[in-house]
Structure 1
Amino acid sequence: MPSSPSPSPIALPKMSPTSSIFKKRSSTATLVPKTAASYLSALSEADARRLRAHVPTATPALSLSSSVTSDSEDSVLHENEEYIRPGLETPLRPPTSEQVFNTLHSEFGHCANDEYRYVSEHVPGTSLVHVAQEPPYYIVISTYISYLILICLGHIRDFLGKRFHPSAYHHLMPRDGYVPLNSDFDSFYTRRLKRRMDECFSQPVTGVAGRTIMLMDRYSADYNATQIFTGTRTRALNISSYNYLGFAQAKGGCADAVEESIRRYGVSSAGARLEGGSTDLHVLAESLVARFVGQEDALISSMGFSTNSAYIPALVSKGCLVISDELNHASIRFGVRLSGANVRMYKHNDMDALESLLRECISQGQPKTHRPWKKILVIVEGLYSMEGTIVDLPRVIELKQKYKFYLFVDEAHSIGAVGPNGRGVADYFGIPPQSIDVLMGTMTKSFGAAGGYIAGSKALIDRLRVRGYLGAYGEAMAPPVLMQIVSSMASIMGIAPAPPTSNSSTATLRLGNGTATESTEIHPGPAPPSLLPSWLTLDPSLVSGVEGRTRLRRLTFNSRYLHQGLIKLGFITYGHPMSPVIPLLLFNPGKMNMFHRLMKENATPIVVVVVSYPACALMTTRARLCVSAAHTKEDMDTILRACDDIGDVLDLKHGIPRSERWDIDTVCERAVELAHM
């Protein structure tokens, strides 16, 4: 079938469909309509113009030649971008002759100001318990009413539609004696609530998910039942990816190492770890992970979600008790269900509730028989990704020493992102990591890779290698992904000088279980050269650890500045100031789509993630802002200015009293003060 012709080039600068409601002033976006009615009217008119415009029914497939630019910047796709947005591809302030940057600005922003740095470490005496701020009563009432209207209208439309338009509801009707696979109850939320806001979800992107990201433009003419691609792309500021340290780059030392690993190992191990899929890279990576987190041994898997769901059943079984934080991730809940162990939950990060539950469970024993539990495993997260809160680890360790339970810490979002050395919550609180029995984490966030790990004692890890489902049935991690993990982790740690060659060397590397030990090791310390491939050559800034430390401090400054800035503007936010995840409360589900859309239609487009029930509580619909070390201080200014304008239009500022708020210019000028507040 012949492909449809590609759209003809447009000579004029590209304007977003709703960009007429924005205007630019001093490189910042200022919202013109100041009332919700006028704003919605402008959006409706823009939608009508967009639907009347001619759009090709299909776009040609991307070829290799169409995805690589002539200037060899293959990580940046300029096609269908009618003009370069200042501040996204190029910095607003050109570097001086003394400043040398080896990164691409669109992937990792140029920032040489040492004032925009902050060390991530716990300040003794500060509270780790987050007290949620309540919105005004009219917000609560209107939110419940909006859900009620959506549910009632949805059931009415289903009732009438099945009787007057049965062909449109054939997927819900019994056919040939079979019940429908999608029942009314299961699909009602998807059809009647989620579809109305599908514009917010599954936004197709292309290119590198770094500081900026390329969005593939689309629109819907049938209320989100289908999406039509326009054939154009828009570069946007990326505040939606888990690229905490900015290692998701297509250029740089880590990317070069990955490229070399593909030449040497290919793209797949083509087997499970217990079969033919284990390579020397797997052994080295596991040794490096164990050294990084401060445990005896570690194992890695090719998927973070399955790390919990496949290895928790190998830790506990019937007759065991799992005590879980009520806001633990779905992968933990799924793994506990598979294990068959009893599970009890306690109030989020409430150590008094945890101690009370421990006393009850230990005194009562197993249900019915009241026999002692085989083992008790407490599972917490280091950093809760939906709330942005940090676990009160010192109190948990105190309870562990008192009640003698095993402790499992999920560091999916905290490893590499918190702590002065990026070693997670144990590093953040200055607690010896071996006081924690099981450390779990993922490589998807801070290391710009994929997969997960479990770290602990050698005896525990040896057992999990055999008992865990992934060892026998899971595909081994791909060599390029392994190389990304090794290179990025080594650049955070720094690499120690090679020891002099001697027959009496104290360093040992046991390939059988991926364990490496060195008698002179002090945790946290640099990576020994023996844990890196002999062919690996990294940039001197990565070898010294300077690059890794700079990224850690940039991430912490950006997190604190954005978090405190939103509070000073009057928004309600959740979480700890050190957290790179910042939930911005929207409350009303109808504001989700509008917030996402207005951020994307800003003068500098910004792509955000919005979250609603059932991923969070019914009343706490939110935008989840994910900060990166790749962002610059100017990027944080852009986000704050956009939120400030949109917050006025959508009535989102329900935090501190108006008399205590700062205006946006003051927030941007006093950024360093806010970060240190």
Structure 2
Amino acid sequence: MITIPYITALTTYFSYGLLFAFGQLRDFFRNLLDWWKASNLQGYAPICLGLEDFYIRRLYQRIQECVSILLKAYALPQLNYLLASPVTQLVDCFGRPISSPPDAWFDVVERVSNDNNKTLKRTTKVSRCLNLGSYNYLGFAAADEYCTPRVIESLKKYFASTCSTRVDGGTTALHSELEKVVADFVGKPAALVTGMGYVTNSAILPVLIGKGGLIISDSLNHNSIVNGARGSGASIRVFQHNTPSHLENVLRENIADGQPRTHRPWKKIIVVVEGIYSMEGEICKLPEIIAICKKYKAYVYLDEAHSIGAVGKTGRGVCELLGVDTADVDIMMGTFTKSFGSCGGYIAGSKELIQYLKYTSPAHLYATSISPPAAQQIISSIKVILGEDGSSRGAQKLTQIRENSNYFRSELQKMGFEVLGDNDSPVMPIMLYNPAKIPAFSRECLKRNVAVVIVGFPATPLLLSRARICISAAHTREDMVRALEVISKVGDMVGIKYFPAEPKKPKLEENRVKVE
């Protein structure tokens, strides 16, 4: 549970309230002017209503302009810097184009605007930045001595795309090999591969369960799970984030009540959780959740998008990390867009389950299959992780990502930042809270050639805006020291060190007596 400082919560609510009030006032006068204008829709309803894009027009694009009023009113000294910013909108902090592989360092294309960020134009100038935003957990997103030559060969043999669905002409020898390699890697009898990670959840869940079924979802599950659950037609219940005791209460109550109106028993109950929660960096309490699901005869659906390949002694995810038998997890889902440097996703389970999905899942029947070079990249990266390339690079990468993550997290905490998540997790959110600090943190880091991802409402709760740092095995200790120096300096400027910093311990060498 996050404990927000009182003054921080107060100023954040006031900021959003001010933005909302100014937005409604501007919309009121806009509607008055539109009322006098003749409509040219000729009977058609407007495609986008005013309320539907209110956030984009009045908050997302104006977040700093109105918040500056708050800062002047409170005259907070640590936030005076924000008033000097010449840019008044948040748009430039998102969608920054890059022009190189997303390695530990990458090239960010600079953009300019002549209309206060209503539109942005790319320039030919690029900045070489330290990459703290990509999901390149094991460093496979850049050129690799083992993977890259094999990917190039597959491109020559199969070309860039199958131009077909899996059930027509979209299954190559690589696809069959990939499904076998993935099933063996995660410890399941069979697997189904899809061409897009998001679709793996949103298209598979409606096939697994429907009307008369019950989905119990963690309150902070990814949007792909939320949309998949909504599209299934099943009843949906939510339990408190990563709280097994509340999950048990929800299960017990719903089993006792049965289906709405009829009170008949549920046809099927599926509990959906994530291995590592992408916005929190927290590791799922999987052993406790599995024990509860066994007790109440509910299926377990585990999303390992951010954990597969990134945690565990051999990179096999949270099951390996927490000592859970994969036989106790009914449906294992993951993506190849993070640790494996590719695209697509997978579902792993029993042979009967995978056979059923191949006959019924829209992601298999109607979507274009994953491209052969992307499939080869996944196969090759898994072989490196397992040491089947004849080297120990895979083990070294897994050790490096764990050491890098734990070092970076501990150093941020020592500096006084509020950092979410657990040890061993490569995802570490730094809490920002106040909306004015969102663009300020992003822009000042970029000025110092450090690229970060910032996240605010509605992707997070209103008060809980943050910068999400993603660490990679490709980062060296020198990279991380540089990043920590920049983040510390910007953190002081913006005022996001909410805890007292730990005093630095003297180096042992300084207190040592030389003995000849």
TM-score by length of 1: 0.69
Find 2:44's aligned residue among 164, 174, 178.
178
1:125 match: none
1:623 paired residue number: 467
Q: Secondary structure at the residue paired with 1:177?
A: coil
- 1:249-304 Cα offsets, whole Å, 9 max, x none, are 13421111100111111111121111111111100000000000000000100000
User: What's 2:78 paired with?
Assistant: none
Residue 157 of structure 1 deviates from its aligned partner by 2.0
Residues in 2 aligned to 1:668 and 1:241: alpha-carbon distance in whole angstroms: 34
Matching residue within 646, 653, 671 for 2:497? 653
Which residue number corresponds to residue 358 of structure 1? 251
Question: What's 1:599 paired with?
Answer: 445
The equivalent position to 2:402 in structure 1, one of 535, 547, 556, is 556
d(CA) in 1 for partners of 2:232, 2:507: 50
Q: Using the alignment, how far apart are the partners of 2:312 and 2:503 within structure 1?
A: 30
Q: Is the 8 A contact 1:563 1:582 kept in 2?
A: yes
Verify the 8 A CA contact 1:320 1:373 in the aligned structure 2.
Answer: yes
Contact 2:197–2:337 under 8 Å retained in 1: yes
SS at match of 1:560: helix
Is this contact kept in 2: 1:393–1:429, CA < 8 A? yes
User: Residue 143 of structure 2 aligns to which amino acid in structure 1?
Assistant: A
Secondary structure of the 2:432 match is strand
* Matching of residues 381-420 of structure 1 within 5 Å: 381-420=274-313
* Corresponding residue SS for 1:206: coil
Paired residues for 1:374-453 under 5 Å: 374-453=267-346
Q: Distance in 1 between matches of 2:472 and 2:174?
A: 28
Q: Deviations over 1:288-333 (max 9, x none)?
A: 0000000000010000000111111111011111111011111111
Q: Which piece of structure 1 moves more, 339-348 or 189-198?
A: 189-198
The alignment status of 1:638 with 2:488, answered yes or no, reads no
Return the TM-score normalized by structure 2: 0.90
Gaps of 5+ in 2: 62-88, 510-516
Separation (CA, whole Å) in 2 of partners of 1:192 and 1:568? 37
After TM superposition, give the deviation of residue 181 of structure 1 in Å.
1.3
- Correspondence 1:283 to 2:180: no
* Alpha-carbon distance, 1:339 to partner: 1.0
- 1:74-125 deviations in Å (ceiling 9; x for gaps): xxxxxxxxxxxxxxxxxxxxxxxxxxxxxxxxxxxxxxxxxxxxxxxxxxxx
CA distance in 2, matches of 1:623, 1:174: 43
Distance 2:333 2:506 in 1: 38
- 1:234 is paired with a residue whose SS is strand
| Corresponding residue to 1:587 among 428, 433, 438 | 433
Shift of 1:662: 3.4
Structure 1 residue 150 corresponds to structure 2 residue 19: yes
Q: Is 1:317 matched with 2:161?
A: no
CA deviation after TM superposition for structure 1 residue 650, in Å: 1.0
CA–CA separation in structure 2 for the residues paired with 1:376 and 1:394: 18
Mapped pair 1:565 → 2:411 = yes
Matched residue, 1:578: 424
Alpha-carbon distance in 1 for matches of 2:371, 2:203: 19
Is the CA contact (8 Å cut-off) linking 2:387 and 2:395 kept in structure 1? no
Deviation at 1:174, TM superposition (A): 6.8
Matches within 5 A, 1:335-350: 335-350=228-243
2-structure distance, mates of 1:652, 1:356: 37
Code of the residue aligned with 2:383 in structure 1: it is A
Alignment-mate amino acid for residue 623 of structure 1: A
Report if the CA contact (8 A) 1:311-1:468 is conserved: yes
| Cα pair 1:447 1:484 within 8 Å, conserved | yes
| Cα shift at 1:634 | 1.2
Cα deviation 1:49-97 (Å, max 9, x = unaligned): xxxxxxxxxxxxxxxxxxxxxxxxxxxxxxxxxxxxxxxxxxxxxxxxx
- Check conservation: 1:173, 1:179, Cα contact below 8 A: no
Q: Secondary structure at the match of 1:205?
A: coil
Q: Is it true that 1:543 corresponds to 2:390 in the alignment?
A: yes
CA–CA distance in 1 between the matches of 2:351 and 2:40? 55
Q: Which residue of 2 aligns with 1:187?
A: 53
Name the counterpart of 1:484.
377
Contact 1:174–1:180, Cα closer than 8 Å, also in 2: no
Deviation at 1:408, TM superposition (A): 0.4
| CA shift in 2, pair 1:369/1:668, >3 Å | farther
Within 1, Cα distance between the matches of 2:276 and 2:451? Answer: 23
1:429-476 alpha-carbon deviations (Å, 9 max, x no partner) = 121111110000000000000000000000110001111112210101
- Tell me how far 1:360 sits from its aligned partner: 0.7
Q: Distance in 1 between matches of 2:269 and 2:221?
A: 17
Judging changes above 3 Å, is the alpha-carbon distance between structure 1 residues 406 and 155 closer, same or farther for their aligned structure 2 residues?
A: same
Instruction: From the two aligned structures, give the one with the greater helix fraction.
Output: 2
SS in structure 2 of the partner of residue 359 of structure 1: helix
Q: CA deviation at 1:370?
A: 1.1
- C-alpha separation in 2, matches of 1:468 and 1:558: 39
1:637/1:668 contact within 8 Å kept = no
* Offset of residue 667 of structure 1: 11
**Residue 131 of structure 2 aligns with which residue?**
238
**Aligned to 2:130, what secondary structure does the other structure show?**
strand
TM superposition shift of 1:178? 2.3
- Please give the alpha-carbon distance, in whole angstroms, between the structure 1 residues aligned to 2:506 and 2:262: 61
Matches of 2:315 and 2:143 in 1, distance apart?
Answer: 22
Please report how far the alpha carbon of residue 185 of structure 1 lies from its aligned counterpart in structure 2 after TM superposition: 0.7
Sort the Cα spacing of 1:616 and 1:667 in 2 relative to 1 into closer, same or farther, 3 A.
farther
Contact 1:565 / 1:667 at 8 angstroms: preserved in 2? no
Amino acid of the structure 2 residue aligned with 1:478? S
| Residue deviations 1:13-33 (CA, integer Å, cap 9, x gap) | xxxxxxxxxxxxxxxxxxxxx
CA distance, structure 2, for counterparts of residue 607 and residue 302 of structure 1: 28
Question: Where do 1:452-467 residues align within 5 Å?
Answer: 452-467=345-360
Report the CA distance shift for 1:452/1:573 in structure 2 as closer, same or farther (over 3 A).
same
| Contact 1:135 1:654 (8 Å CA) reproduced | no
Question: How far, CA to CA, are the matches of 1:384 and 1:198 in structure 2?
Answer: 26
Determine if contact 1:406/1:437 at 8 Å carries over to the other structure: yes
Matched AA of 2:498: H
